[in-house]
Amino acid sequence: MIDVQLADRVRSLPPYLFATIDKMKDEALARGVDLINLSIGDPDVPTPQHIVEAMQAAVVKAEHHQYPSYEGMLSFRTAVAEWYKARFNVTLDAKTEVLSLIGSKEGIGHIPLAFVNPGDVVLVPSPGYPVYPVGTLFAGGESHLMPLLEKNNYLPDFTIIPEDVLKRAKLMFLNYPNNPTSAGAPKSFYEEAIALAKKYNIIICHDAAYSEVYFDGERPMSFLEVDGAKEVGIEFHSLSKTYNMTGWRIGFAVGNAQVLAGLGKIKSNLDSGVFQAVQEASIVALRTDDAILADLRRIFEERRDVMYEGLTSLGLKVQKPQATFYLWAKVPDGHDSSGFVAHLLNNAGVLGTPGVGFGAPGEGYIRFALTKPVGRIREAVERIKKVL
């Protein structure tokens, strides 16, 4: 038997904060508890039928059975460019300013490998999507956490980042509409970020996974709509949340051609692109009639209303989401994040995610994902009411 030793980069992964909760969840399920699991950011609604049918037609075509190109079929990249034009009035060159990804997580995880040398800094929002700091760690970089606090509307305060950190920073991740806080960002914030990026030569990577999961008819803007954005960065996007296609593994990055070429260098050496049948079905997805998307949004909007009004009526302090399918709620006094999650799990059979799992500034919060039917969400509120 050889002595199997993990590499330092794997050993230095942050501790898995959900282990205790996972164990309690398994125990609850073993006891036969009817668990309402609101901890998973994966929509329960199936992919729209016309997209599934496009996939059925595409999968039989022999030309799709070979290696795809890592950068994506030109027809797919053209559909992305048209989508950006129609959605945001942003003009993109499909050949140089659009890159296909095997889900946006893949691109987010890989981009530090293209631009970050050991010891370089990456500016990372916290609480935030764990892939930003982990991708940074795998590249040997150092994450500098930018706290997202309620008093700043969950926007990072750039003025508190030390000058020497800014000078060493190569990349900055931003994510609006935000997971886990559900906050949005105004144009003025992006302008500030772009000015900072220009001053300190920082590449901005904006994660827009939730730009189409919005409520009250108020569509969030694209980072690329802002003057100067394309000079400093790129935007990551995904079909996962927009079209309920999390299992299909397709996303894309758009914007600065040099930055995309750098990411493409990593990808061409590591992967072989997205299955072309998936790309072909995704062209159909991107051309989906807006009425169908409006119906999908209405499903999440109804759930949001039930959960937001329900928790608020119980006296919990909740951020009302304008987008995303998450609710970010303050835990009641006397609990911390993990303790409150455990309390709800053990006494109400409702599972949320402890805010601290997304980074230290998330302590004191719980995230509920609206990924269960509205009847179950109503029941979750009733059950929480009994144990508060």
Ligand X SMILES: *Cc1c(COP(=O)(O)O)cnc(C)c1O
Q: Which residues of the chain form contacts with ligand X (CB under 6 A)? A: 41, 103-105, 129, 175, 179, 207, 209, 238, 240-241, 246, 251
Nearest distance in Å: CB 128, ligand X: 8
C-alpha to C-alpha distances, 135 to 114, 122, 210, 338, nearest whole angstrom? 11, 10, 20, 25
Q: Quick one: CA dihedral 9, 14, 18, 20, positive or negative?
A: positive
Nearer to ligand X, 166 or 278 (CB): 278
Distance CA 194, CA 191 (A): 5
> Residue 220 gets which letter from DSSP?
P
Supply the minimum distance, in Å, between the C-beta of residue 265 and ligand X. 20
Distance of closest approach, residue 387 Cβ to ligand X, in angstroms? 28
Specify the residue, 142 or 207, whose C-beta has the smaller distance to ligand X. Answer: 207
| Residue 343 CB, nearest approach to ligand X (Å) | 26
**Residue 251 or 310 with smaller CB distance to ligand X:** 251
Smallest gap from Cβ 238 to ligand X, in A, equals 3
Nearer to ligand X, 122 or 342 (CB): 122
Q: What are the φ and ψ backbone dihedral angles of 78, each rounded to 5 degrees?
A: -65, -40
- Give the residue among 279, 278, 281, 286 at the shortest CA–CA distance from 92: 286
| CB closer to ligand X, 170 vs 241 | 241
Residue closer to ligand X (CB basis): 238 or 279: 238
Contact 257, 93 (CB under 8 A): yes
Q: In Å, how far are 102, 261, 304, 384 from 342, measured between CA atoms?
A: 35, 45, 23, 12
Residue 336 to residues 153, 339, 365: CA-CA distances in angstroms? 21, 5, 8
Question: Rounded to the nearest 5°, which phi and psi values hold at 12?
Answer: -90, 10
DSSP string for 298-323: HHHHHHHHHHHHHHHHTT--EE--SB
Least Å distance between CB 235 and ligand X? Answer: 11
C-alpha distances (whole Å) from 94 to each of 62, 80, 146, 256, 336 are 25, 8, 33, 12, 48
Nearer to ligand X by C-beta: 136 or 238? Answer: 238
Distance CA 164, CA 161 (A): 9
Minimum separation from the CB atom of position 246 to ligand X (A): 5
